[in-house]
Structure 1
Amino acid sequence: MSFQSPESSPSSILLEDFGQKVDLTRRIREVLINYPEGTTVLKELIQNADDAGATVVRLCLDRRQHSTTSLLSPSLSAFQGPALLSYNDAVFTEEDFTSISRIGGSVKHNQATKTGRFGVGFNSVYHLTDLPSFVSGNYIVMFDPQGAYLPNVNSSNPGKRIDFVSTKALSFYRDQFEPYVVFGCDMEKAVSGYIVSVPVAGFESSERE
């Protein structure tokens, strides 16, 4: 009796990856229409903190200019300058990570105590930046919907999550993590809270058109 190898099985021959996809940048533009520029970003960052049950919220316009020697990619150097920073004392759960990765489809609708528009409001940060990021617990998360700055990203994988506690990421990319050394965070251990970084330098409004 002979067996077909997986490479030559009918499914591998006949089935081609194909499915409905969302144009992420177009979807973000649609979201921004409903979240006008101005104080909306600040309100939404505070709302996110409230949703998470935070008891402390801090906002800061960080004017520091960080080194660009050890970054994940040279193209990220434009985002090592001034940024709007937000801190709250609620640590992300795995459910929170799942929720923030969805646009218009977060898990908030199953939680009566949480307000906001199903997490869509977080995306108002794209009024100010092309590369928002945040750190909570063991992880730093960076979103790159255009796939223009982070290494090895595409329309199906428009961002990165890095465990900076359990890996040697900090030793390889120390400059990349410097913007988060604020609000008592040293990036040497898990962050007891949630810090959002919205770089305002390097933002190209023409990318939205």
Structure 2
Amino acid sequence: MFNNAKFKESDLESLMQIRVGGKQDDDTKIGKHGLGFNSCYHFTDVPSFVSSDKITLLDPQEKYLSKRIIDTIPQNGTHKDQLAPFKGIKSIYFCEGTLFQIPLRKEPSKLSDTIYTTDQILELVK
């Protein structure tokens, strides 16, 4: 999934507020009615994204990671394996926008017990 805007620090802070909207009074923001980024937690437990030269990994349950990891995109460093899904995408290291990874949940969790298959997701986006 791609968004043509780069994330700001205030956007990152909002993402950590699961199930809490924070944009109700800002008409310049999308997703202000509770239908924004947090909707990804219907499908995944650990979303990640690349924006500018940063990779952000979110694990609100702290099952795999500390609550949030933001790091400069490593060419071959700590989170190299997290960049594997983005491999082959041009300009990933200095993205003029934000590229999201939403890996599908494989087992029930505290966030949701619903498991979606690839076919179900493809049907949703038709």
TM-score greater than 0.5 by the shorter chain: yes
Larger radius of gyration: 1
Distance 1:88 1:136 in 2: 9
Encode CA deviations 1:21-69: one digit per residue, 9 max, x unaligned: xxxxxxxxxxxxxxxxxxxxxxxxxxxxxxxxxxxxxxxxxxxxxxxxx
- 1:148 deviates by 1.3
* Counterpart pick for 1:161 among 62, 70, 74: 70
The change in CA–CA distance for 1:114 and 1:176 in structure 2 (over 3 A counts) is closer
The change in CA–CA distance for 1:206 and 1:109 in structure 2 (over 3 A counts) is closer
- 1:115 deviates by 4.1
The change in CA–CA distance for 1:206 and 1:146 in structure 2 (over 3 A counts) is closer
Distance 2:27 2:46 in 1: 31
Distance 1:118 1:139 in 2: 27
The change in CA–CA distance for 1:119 and 1:163 in structure 2 (over 3 A counts) is farther
**Superposition TM-score, scaled by structure 2 size:** 0.70
Match for residue 185 of structure 1? 91
- Which structure has greater helix proportion? 1
Match for residue 145 of structure 1? 60
Counterpart of 1:171, as a letter, is N
SS of the residue 1:136 aligns to: strand
Distance 1:186 1:105 in 2: 29
Counterpart of 1:161, as a letter, is I
Match for residue 170 of structure 1? 75
Contact 2:60 2:68 in 1 (8 A): yes
- Between the two proteins, the alignment pairs up a number of residues equal to 110
- 1:120 deviates by 5.8
Match for residue 102 of structure 2? 198
The change in CA–CA distance for 1:118 and 1:162 in structure 2 (over 3 A counts) is farther
**Correspondence list, 1:123-138, <5 A:** 123-138=38-53
Gaps of 5+ in 2: 114-126
Contact 1:170 1:177 in 2 (8 A): no
The change in CA–CA distance for 1:139 and 1:125 in structure 2 (over 3 A counts) is same
Counterpart of 1:180, as a letter, is F
Determine whether 1:117 maps to 2:32: yes
**Identity score, percent:** 35
Distance 1:181 1:199 in 2: 15
**Superposition TM-score, scaled by structure 1 size:** 0.45
